[in-house]
Structure formats: C-alpha cells, structure tokens
Amino acid sequence: MIDLQSLLAAGVAAGHAPGLSAAIIDRDGRVQSGAAGVRGVDNPAAMTSDTVCWIASCTKAITSVGALQLVERGLLDLDEPVGSALPTLAAPRVLAGFDTDGKPITQPATKPITLRRLLTHTSGLAYDFVSEELARYMTATGGTLMGAGEPDIPLMFEPGERWLYGIGIDWAGRLIEAISGQTLDAYLAENVLGPLGMADTSFFPDAALSARKASVHQRLDDGTFVAIPFGMPPVRHFGMGGGGLYSTAPDYLKFLKAIAGGGAPLLGAETFGLMMRNHVGDFDAGSLKSAQPMLSRDFIPIPNRIRRHGLAGLVNMDAGTGTRSAGSLAWAGLANCYYWADPVTGAAGVVMAQLLPFGDPGVLATFESVERAVYA
C-alpha cells in the first residue's frame, strides 16, 4: 500500500490547499483513502475521507455513462441530430463576429448537433470561462450559463470542426431527461449511483451530507486562501449534468473502479469499448485557455502526451513512464478535483481540493505524486 496520508499531508504543508482528500485503487485491487488539513480556513474541522466536496466537472463522466446506457438500450443514437428532443438545439447558429457597435453576428450552422458531438466537446458549444468570444457574447447580451433555463447561445464553430470545452454534457443531461422521462437526478440515482452504492453522491445534499461539506476557497495573489460563498442551486438547474454533483473521494472511487474494471455493472463490454476509444480524430483535446483567471488558469492536462477524447472524458493515447496506461480515462472538476481510471491495470484514483482557480500547480503536483506512487 502507498503512504497516501503522507502525500496529502505534504501537499497541505506545502500550501497546496487548506485540505485535501483522496482515494485510490492500486493494480492489486486494494482500495485506500486518506485526507489531510482542514475543511476550510473558516472551518477548522479536519478534512476527512467522508468530507463532501463539490466535484464540478467530475460529474461529466457519470452523465456521459448515463447517456450511453440509453444508446445501449437503443433509445438514443450517437449520430442523430438531437434537435427533435431538444428544440433549443434544433437550428443552431454560429458566432461569426461582432459589428462596429459590439453586437454579435451569427449565421446558421450547416451541420447538426449530435450526441457524439455533445459528449466529445466538438459541438461548438463552449463555456465562457475558456472562450473569450463567448465571454464577449455573454457580456453583450447579458446572458448566463448558470440559470435554471436552457441557455440559447451560439456555437463557436461548425459542429465537428474542432475540440472546445463547453456545455455539451450539460445538454446531454437534458437529453437524458427528454428520452427517459425522468429527472436527471432520479435517472442517475437509479442507473449509475444506486447500482454502485454511491450513497454520498448527490446533486442536492441533505442535511447530513451538507454538514460534512468542505468550504470552497479562492487563492489570493499572495498565495493565501479565503473561503468564498459557494453552493450549487438547491433546485434543478441546467448545469446539473456538466457539473452539479457533490461527492466524497471514496464514493467517487466506486465509479472509477467500475471504469477501471471494464464498465460493469453500468455498461456492457461493447459499449464500454466504444466509450473508451478516440472519437475526435486528430484534434488535441483537454487544453484550456482561460478567459476568466479568477475561475481557471490555462491548463494542459498530462503534458507531453497524445490527448484525445472518448465518449466520457479525456483519453491518453500513449503511456507515460511510471504513470497511467494508454487508453486511460481522466478529467477534472473546477475546484481542483482530478481523477484517472486505467482499464489496462485496474488502477484508478481521485484527489479532491476545494479551491479556485482551476489548474492550481500545487494541487496538480499532489495529484501527480499520488498517481506515481500507485504505479511505483
């Protein structure tokens, strides 16, 4: 077993975060969890393995698996236009620029938005914190991606033209609702979270879970931390499928264990194999250029590796030395949560902080130290 506790304690001592939690499964199938530090600079309670964190975009892989279950059942097709089920996406428009008064100029898209494009971030839909063009559009129109309603925003490019991180999987969550007839939280509870026994994972934490939440922090310019008011909406909202879940490191590891183990009981072998393949051709995937520095730094995941995108997250096409195998799944959550799942060796792990901006070098260093220890 690795000395997970010491790795996390070293990260806290180095000022990487007020508190860190993590859980891993090694190549021999042994599960381990640990935590260090405190739940917040405003909350001296110890960070523990059962501390509840906002996992943000770690939600995406869970939602993607839910959508692929519907594909497996013949209720969805990866390459059919989604507009019949999601009218807002039936006639997408592409942002072509801005006129001399700063008013956005759009034109009809010539290609449809499909589930495959939603799941692989090739639909043209973006997040404003990683797209200066969308951020400018939102400022000009007064729009928001954080409301209860469906955001009617233009595409940044024609569907299928390139990779850009965006709200595609938020929309995939809405597609699950439209096809299944269930709310997203109910569908995932029945089909993903329930079968895995993920009792500490929820869009709407009850009083018991809420009592175990860590505070979300902002790192200031001098490197210190301040707790910030934060909470996902306590009612159904558009962004649930892309970033709405709260969880603990050991609970999220239950999902990663299923991925590292070949997909059962969530997906059949054929669908799992499809999910883990490259679906973006030669497009480099995963790199983010920040348009809102308070939320995210520029981010290059697993540098010096060939990065592509499967149907549930980032997939590295080559193996590193002393790290995950080729064909592993990985992604992250905005408050500096990071994970990987390696179906070749069965190893997986997640490290959780509650800290902005995303892409914090210190938390990433701790995450790398945990991964390397698992493969040592």
* Rounded average pLDDT over 120-138: 97
Segment 327-370, tens digit of pLDDT = 999 999 999 999 999 999 999 999 999 999 999 999 999 999 99
Cα dihedral 368/371/374/375 (nearest 10): -90
Active site residue ranges = 57, 60, 165
Q: Element (H or E) spanning 106, and its range?
A: strand 104-108
Q: Residue 144's pLDDT is what?
A: 84
* Rounded average pLDDT over 252-273: 98
59: confidence class by pLDDT, cuts 50, 70, 90: very high
CB 340 within 8 A of CB 348: yes
Q: Residue 147's pLDDT is what?
A: 78
Q: What's the CATH code, domain 4-56+200-375?
A: 3.40.710.10
Q: Residue 1's pLDDT is what?
A: 85
43: confidence class by pLDDT, cuts 50, 70, 90: very high
CB atoms within 10 A of CB 85: 17
Segment 151-174, tens digit of pLDDT = 989 999 999 999 999 999 999 999
Does residue 68 surpass a pLDDT of 90?
yes
Q: How far is the C-alpha of 278 from the C-alpha of 182, rounded, in Å? A: 30
Q: Residue 148's pLDDT is what?
A: 80
Residue range(s) occupied by CATH 3.40.710.10 in the chain: 4-56+200-375
Q: How far is the C-alpha of 253 from the C-alpha of 274, rounded, in Å? A: 22
Does residue 143 surpass a pLDDT of 90?
no
CB 375 within 8 A of CB 322: yes
Segment 281-322, tens digit of pLDDT = 999 999 999 999 999 999 999 999 999 999 999 999 999 899
Q: If you average pLDDT over every residue of the chain, what do you get?
A: 97
Q: Residue 146's pLDDT is what?
A: 79
